Structure 1
């Protein structure tokens, strides 16, 4: 397992995650109203492999919470630069969605990736068909 750094554009919001560098990475291209507008390309990390840098209180003070609909997804945008480097997604509330382009992949670059489509406009059907929930399930 290797540790990778995530941050927003200005660097106020930082976190780390662990993953096996040799495993391919599934990137999700979603067309829900939020992801479509941001052109969000993200991947899932189990909560046990994710670590926020700094205190949760400081993180909440430096971000703006945005929720709608079921309020299952927890999105906190940096209050300075507006970037969302990671969030708790509705599809995987037991983990984190990490914005692919907010990761410092280090000297070896990102692992092999595969892009899959998530039909967020037909959320329930896509959730059942894609198996996305398995990506953060603890083994």
Structure 2
């Protein structure tokens, strides 16, 4: 199920704690260097974000965005991952330096986690509601990269 492309990356859905029935999902990178739990809406209410910018297209993630209080690392942290700053360098993406899995990132105090990193949650990522960002046309390239 897909929603129309956003007119702005600022339209990304961010579940506000206290406005949904909380479900806890557990996940991590492939090798287990980092593990985390996320408090998010139930599967039928989760909205993941996809983007067609050059970076997101290459990695194929489906991101769920959240306030920091919704994410708890149970092993390691973002500091144990490699951070990649691209374009405006105002946000970062992280990946495991051991197994290479794109885990998540941060932009202006909002975290993202790749829903493909949730293990044993019984969630079929491809069946979740999709909020599409036309990053190829909406996110201006500021550094020529």
What is the TM-score with the length of structure 2 in the denominator? 0.69
Which residue, 53, 65, 72 being the options, matches 2:83?
Answer: 65
Taking the aligned partners of 1:44 and 1:35, their CA distance within structure 2 comes to 15
More helix by share: 1
Q: Among 78, 89, 97, which residue is 2:96 paired with?
A: 78
1:98 corresponding residue in structure 2:
113
Shifted more, 25-34 versus 45-54: the winner is 45-54
Supply the RMSD in Å over aligned alpha carbons.
Answer: 2.3
Task: For residue 3 of structure 1, report the CA deviation from its aligned partner.
Answer: 1.5
1:128 alignment counterpart: none
Give the TM-score normalised by structure 1. Answer: 0.71
Partners of 1:8 and 1:102 within 8 A in 2: yes
The answer to whether the 8 Å contact 1:32/1:121 transfers is yes
Pairing partner for 1:45 from 46, 49, 66: 66
Kindly state the Cα deviation for residue 117 of structure 1 after the two structures are TM-superposed. Answer: 1.4
The answer as to whether partners of 2:48 and 2:131 remain within 8 angstroms in 1 is: yes
Cα distance in 1 for residues equivalent to 2:116 and 2:94: 17
**CA–CA separation in structure 1 for the residues paired with 2:41 and 2:131:** 20
Aligned pair partner of 1:110 in 99, 109, 123:
123
CA distance in 2, matches of 1:22, 1:53: 22
Q: How many aligned positions are there?
A: 117
Q: Is the 8 A contact 1:6 1:85 kept in 2?
A: no
* Displacement of 1:53: 2.5
3-state DSSP of counterpart to 1:53: strand
Aligned equivalents of 1:73 and 1:17: distance in 2? 20
In structure 1, the gaps of 5 or more residues are 126-139
